[in-house]
Structure 1
Amino acid sequence: MKTVHSSARVKSSGWRPTFSGLLLLTLLVIPVAAHAQSGTPFDTGFTAIQTLFTGTIAKVASLVAIVIGGYGFAHGEPGAKKALAGVAAGTGIAVLAVNVLSWLWGV
């Protein structure tokens, strides 16, 4: 029978993860990762719609309204000055809506 000397044994090299240690680590990490996500899933969609309506669509619609109002003014249409004033006000409201909201309510 062969005997094993203590110097021939393989020594464990430090820390070994246990099931309870891994479970505790998982329970601590998952809530932090979940909290890192911002808000509800609707926030992303609503922010995209807000950016679209106050950015691209507002600028394109304003440009079209200015061109049509300019043609009416150039051809002497009755009420063209009033229409251009409405275009200017509407353009300002559409393009600067985000600034107006933050000024009024701090949104």
Structure 2
Amino acid sequence: MELTFTAPLWRWDARQDDSWWFVTVPPDESDLLADVPLPPRGFGSIRVRVSVGSTTWQTSVFPSQDQNGYVLPMKKAVRQAEGLEPGAAVEVTLSPLDA
């Protein structure tokens, strides 16, 4: 399964440093991820391969009650490489790795 969506880049307010930035996986795509049969992982995370622009990496998405879906961490190296600013609309392609 490969999912493509666009969502804004946002900072986790619980941390005041510049290190915790995310994109929320939209509800329909989050529902599809939740239905993928995967082995149990910490915090309900799902390992994924992600592409944003010309950058591809592996990470995990995490369920978030506050965001009503999964959240994708956006590491600083990716934000810098792709010139992403706070609130930027980020086009994301992701695929579960354990499926």
Q: Please say whether Structure 1 and Structure 2 have the same fold, judged by a TM-score greater than 0.5.
A: no
Which of the two has higher C-alpha Rg?
1
Give the structure-1-normalised TM-score.
0.24
Greater strand proportion: 2
Give the structure-2-normalised TM-score.
0.25
